[in-house]
Amino acid sequence: MGQGQQERVPTSLGGAVAEEIGASLAPVDAELERLYPGDPGTRQPVHTVYVPADVFAADTVRAWGDRALAALDDHAPDAASFGAALGLDGALAEDVYGRVRAKLEREPVEDLRVDFEDGYGNRPDAEEDETAARAARLVAEAHARGGAATTAPWTGIRMKCMEAAVRDRGIRTLDIFLTGLMRAGGLPGGLVLTLPKVTYAEQVTAMARLLDAFEKTWDLAPGRIGFEIQIETSQSILAADGTATVARMIQAAEGRATGLHYGTFDYSACLGVSAAHQASDHPAADHAKAVMQVAAAGTGVRLSDGSTNVLPVGPTEQVHDAWRLHYGLVRRALARAYYQGWDMHPGHLPTRYAAVFAFYREGFERAAARLARYADRTGGDVMDEPATAKALAGHLLRGLDCGALDDAEVARAAGLARADLETFASPRRGGLTVSAP
């Protein structure tokens, strides 16, 4: 054997076999890339605030933040009282309380939906026309003005559904809103649309075609406008033939679906759950969200939990009871990987952010240490693999995005920069992420 030559390891199959298999699986490879592109890797809001369209105003975001801060002043004026209400220990309570107040001052609402459906009801056409045009004007002005303290990073509308009785009204409202934005300078980067009460995949296809027609009218890039699908009916989970309808809906959106939002009360009522037991932790809700979660996994479509209708209002004892309920529901959702939910009242903002911040801070040190050991291949008391590294990096990135964690402390604890975290969080399909670049 000459210099520079190496003895080959013996094999039994020729290269033609691998080539034949590769050719046979090429369509499957293409299908996987098309149907399961993976998470987009962008920031996901921790909540969506719904505001009836007729009360939406230029100062809505700031007003919600101020009312949330006032609720803290009235019912938990310091970290000790807030921690005692929610069961947080001293050090964590101090940290979380300070971050909650800072968040309410800096960016009180992450995602705002101007509601033309249940929160608005049926109005005379002329009135809804004017309200839709006004919403477009206010959203355009807010984004032109900028500033997270007064503008939510994500903003849009929830239109009426595609059922026959309200279909034309919903389409007209959407048209007025989008046209108003275009005439005011174009669609904002954080535009989000919500299609409610979907029962058949064909309704999702109709929404996709509607947006396609609008894009062609304004010479926008194909697929520029996405939308969320709201899961509020039994038919959206299980079709008459026993198949999972929600999986069909994602494909029916033709690449435009950005999220699946669970509608706690409509869905519960659809199944006959009595009003006293309609909640996001009901077994029926757990089943629906589990089906949604599996259907959306790997598609790039994100999940959102529903809301609670127990409002933190009244005397302090009553407010604390409502806060504990909301805090517990949010923590429960986070543990189940539902990283977004609805908030229906300014008083829910303190416990939304408290639950989110506590969740990420409680898991921070261990997640950072495990990821650091994985990156260095130094081992430890847990044998992690690429999928776990992906989850650990995702935990840290979500904590950074919402303000629960700081770049400096993550870099110090994990020994990794944000770019390294993003590499671990988004490995190529089938690839093995061994260490950060």
DSSP string, 344-397: -SGGGHHHHHHHHHHHHHHTHHHHHHHHHHHHHT---SS---HHHHHHHHHHHH
**Mean pLDDT throughout 285-305?**
96
Does 16 map to a domain?
Answer: no
The encoded tokens of residue 47 equal 């909540």
- 420 and 280 belong to one structural domain: no
Closest to 331 measured CA to CA, from 365, 311, 356:
356
Q: Say what the pLDDT of residue 32 is.
A: 92
pLDDT at 436 over 90: no
- 54 and 194 belong to one structural domain: yes
- 226 and 284 belong to one structural domain: yes
pLDDT cut 70: percent of the chain above it: 94
CB within 8 A of 332, min separation 6: which ones?
A: 281
Q: What CATH number corresponds to the domain at position 349?
A: 3.20.20.60
Separation between Cα atoms, residue 236 and residue 163, nearest integer Å: 13
Does 301 map to a domain?
Answer: yes
In the chain, the number of structural domains is 2
- 259 and 353 belong to one structural domain: yes
Mean of pLDDT over the chain: 93
Q: Write down which residue in 320, 335, 362 finishes a domain.
A: 362
- 333 and 354 belong to one structural domain: yes
Does 79 map to a domain?
Answer: yes
Separation between Cα atoms, residue 71 and residue 347, nearest integer Å: 6
DSSP string, 138-201: HHHHHHHH--TTTS-SEEEEE---SSTTTHHHHHHHHHHHHHHHHHTTS--TTEEEEE-S--SH
Q: Write down which residue in 341, 362, 383 finishes a domain.
A: 362
- 152 and 268 belong to one structural domain: yes
The encoded tokens of residue 370 equal 């495990």
Query: For residue 298, what are the CA distances in angstroms to 25, 295, 302?
Result: 19, 9, 9
pLDDT at 154 over 50: yes
- 178 and 292 belong to one structural domain: yes
- 54 and 104 belong to one structural domain: yes
- The DSSP letter of residue 47 is E
Fill in the amino acid letter for 281.
D
Q: Say what the pLDDT of residue 433 is.
A: 42
Residues of the domain holding 291? 47-362
- 380 and 349 belong to one structural domain: no
In which element (H, E) is residue 130 found? helix 125-145
| Each residue's pLDDT tens digit, 63-91 | 999 999 999 999 999 999 999 999 999 89
**Mean pLDDT throughout 135-149?**
91
CA 320 to chain centre: 27
Does 147 map to a domain?
Answer: yes
| Each residue's pLDDT tens digit, 313-334 | 999 999 999 999 999 999 999 9
| Each residue's pLDDT tens digit, 162-187 | 999 999 999 999 999 999 999 999 99
- 322 and 380 belong to one structural domain: no
Count of CA atoms in the C-beta half-sphere (13 A) of 128? 24
pLDDT band, residue 111 (cuts 50/70/90): very high
Does 386 map to a domain?
Answer: yes
Contact between 201 and 248 (Cβ < 8 Å): yes
